[in-house]
Amino acid sequence: MRTLVALPFVLAAFTVVISCTFPEMPTVIPKVTFVDVNCTYAGTPVPNGESSTPEGECKKVTCTNGDLKIEECRQISNNDSHCKLTNDTGGTFPFCCPSLFCK
pLDDT at 22 over 70: no
pLDDT of residue 40: 94
pLDDT of residue 81: 87
Mean pLDDT (the chain, rounded)? 79
What value, to the nearest 5°, has the Cα angle with vertex 64 and ends 62 and 70? Answer: 30
DSSP 50-93: -EE--TTSSEEEEEETTEEEEEEPPP-----TTEEEE--TTS-T
Domain ranges of the chain: 2-102
Question: 39-82: per-residue pLDDT in tens?
Answer: 999 999 999 999 999 998 999 999 999 999 999 999 988 888 88
